[in-house]
Structure 1
Amino acid sequence: MLLSLLTTNPLQFVIIAAALVLSLTVHEFAHAYTADRLGDPTPRRFGRVTLNPVKHLDPFGTLLLLIAGFGFARPVPINPRNLGRWGTLWVSAAGPISNLLIALVAGLLLRFLPPSQFTFTVLSYVLSINVVLAVFNLIPIPLLDGSRIIGALVPSLGRSLAQFEAQPFSFVIVMLFIFIAQGPIGNIIRTVQAWVFGVVGLR
């Protein structure tokens, strides 16, 4: 539980919380910026083409982060009709791609910056958190970016996924699935983390 670190290790809490805020903010900004550049004004109308964390963090999702160690930011509103099939795909992929890029940058800094325990701790958390966010969001289940990518590639499936997301119980079902499948998801995340470490020469 992240919140427990406030009393046991306040510095670690601050580092992890800052890394989470940075990573979630960049993730949502990437969605908004990509949609804006591809011709959809919706994110800009809602003030989402910004790196201001206040515009992106969700109160309940942030509370979950503090209590359970996982959560979510506010989804960026888009209008797929302004983007088309492939534009929607790129907007959906932009968030996970941004997290993978942050992870790679953190890994390169770990390799080339002068050794320091504080620097190593901060960059290790940044790397790990962004790999988790990238892999997690690429899971092809409703409410996550992966489902929207699959939906753009297979429009008929995308319509079914969108109908499921509209149901009031969809969030609960997705959370239950993630809880049940956390073992395999964790294995995939560790594999990607090892790959990133290998790419930047830290393995």
Structure 2
Amino acid sequence: MGNTSSRVTAQDKAILDLKLQRDKLHQYQRRISVLTERETAAARQLLAAGDRRRALLALRRKKYQESLLAKTDDQLAQLEQLTRSVEFALIQKDVLFGLRQGTRVLREIHAEMGGLDHVEKLMGETADAIAYQKEVSEMLGGRMTNQDEDEVEDELAALEQEVNGPAAAAAADALPSVPDTKLPEPRAAEQQRQRQEPEPERTAVLAS
């Protein structure tokens, strides 16, 4: 209960008081309506009994009650209008509070974005970057001339030489050198060579 009552604001209490006064006026109107009906019934009975003077007095009391009833109608209309105005004012207050909070959040976001100048600059840089990328894509997509292709190929070959040259040289230095020794001749080749050479003794006899 304590927590509930602590959440009731002065505005809520004011609206509640207005509604309580409205309910009391409604109860008062019901009582007056009952009285006017009674006065009407009493005047009818008095006339039936031949007492015109007292019947006229009952109708006068009824007329007075009806005037009070008309006054309560005006008061009820004012209370209803005031209650609606207060309730609408509270709604407006909540709306204004929400607008104030939203405006504060928007300002914080704009501050984080760096302001309008920064956004325009960023958008311009983004547009330039997109345009440059589009230009490059179009050029690479088939708008290059044969000379451009040759230049690109030459540049690629130079880069490959620059990147792979030191590695290829290092790999060549790491390989073993080819031996320079003469391999033994086959046996058949050796026999053929011996047949072609003259025997030493026969050569000496022919010479004497």
Normalised to the residue count of structure 1, the TM-score between the two structures is 0.22
Q: Which has the higher helix share?
A: 2
**Higher relative contact order (CA closer than 8 Å, sequence separation 6+):** 1
Normalised to the residue count of structure 2, the TM-score between the two structures is 0.22
Task: Kindly name which structure, 1 or 2, has the bigger radius of gyration based on alpha carbons.
Answer: 2
